[in-house]
Structure 1
Amino acid sequence: MDIYVGSIPFKWKEAKLVEIFGEFGEVHSAKIVIDKITRQNKGFAFVEMPNDEEAKAAIEALDGKEFDERKIIVNKSVPNNAGSLDKKKKKHYPSKPENKEWKPFKGIGKKR
C-alpha cells in the first residue's frame, strides 16, 4: 500500500521514515519529495509497505502524532489522476446544422 506522509519536519531523511514505519512492518520504499531549486524537502513524502494490514496499522497509529514539534499527516496515498477521466467536464461544442448554406463574409458595415 502506498502511504502519503504530510507535514514532516524539513530536516528528516528517508532513513527516518523507514525507522518510524518499520516498527509496524516491512517498508518497501520511502521517498521524500525534494524541491529541485532549493534542494529542501517539500514537507511531504510517500512510503510503500507491501502488507496492507501493517500499512493500515501504521496509518492509524501515526496520523496526527507529533514529531519534532510537528503533527504529521498520514493516510492512504491516492494517485494524482485517480478518477480524473470521470470528473473532467466534457466540453460542449454546438452541433453544426447539416443543411446550412455557406455564405462569404461581406464585412462589418455598409459603405456609404
Structure 2
Amino acid sequence: MNIYVSNLSFNVEDDDLRGFFEEYGEVTSAKVITDKMTQRSRGFGFVEMTDDAAAQKAISELDGASVQGRNIRVTVAKPKEERSNNGGGYSNNRRSSYSGSNNGGGSRW
C-alpha cells in the first residue's frame, strides 16, 4: 500500500520516514520529496508497505502524531492524476496576452 505523509519537518530524511513506519511492518520504500532546485524537503513524502493491514494500522496510529514538533498527516496515497498537455496551466496558444495590445490590429505572433 502506498501512503502519503504530509506536514513533515524539513529536517526529516528518507531513513527517518522509513523508521516511523518500520515498527508496523515491512517498508519497501520511503521517500521525502525534495525541491528540484534547492534539494530541500517539501514537507511531504511517500511510504510503501507490503502488508495492507499493517499499513492501515500505521495510518491510523501515526495520523496526527507529533514528529519533531509537527503533527503529521498520514493517509492512503491517491493515484497520481495524469497531467494535461497544456504545460501546467499555461496556454499553448502563443497569442496569449503577451502580444501587447489586443485592439484587433494583429499580433506579433
* AA partner of residue 57 (structure 1): K
* AA partner of residue 7 (structure 1): N
Give me the whole-angstrom Cα distance separating, in 2, the residues matched to 1:29 and 1:74: 15
Matched with 2:43 is 43
| 1:56-107: CA deviation from partner (whole Å, max 9, x where unpaired) | 000000000011110000000001228xxxxxxxxxxxxxxxxxxxxxxxxx
Identity %: 41
Q: Give me the TM-score of the superposition, normalised by structure 2.
A: 0.73
Deviating beyond 4 angstroms after TM superposition, the runs of 4 or more aligned structure 1 residues are none
Which structure 2 residues correspond to residues 22-101 of structure 1 after superposition, within 5 A?
22-81=22-81
* AA partner of residue 24 (structure 1): Y
SS across alignment from 2:27: coil
Q: Give me the TM-score of the superposition, normalised by structure 1.
A: 0.71
Gaps of 5+ in 2: 83-109
Give me the whole-angstrom Cα distance separating, in 1, the residues matched to 2:39 and 2:54: 32
* AA partner of residue 9 (structure 1): S
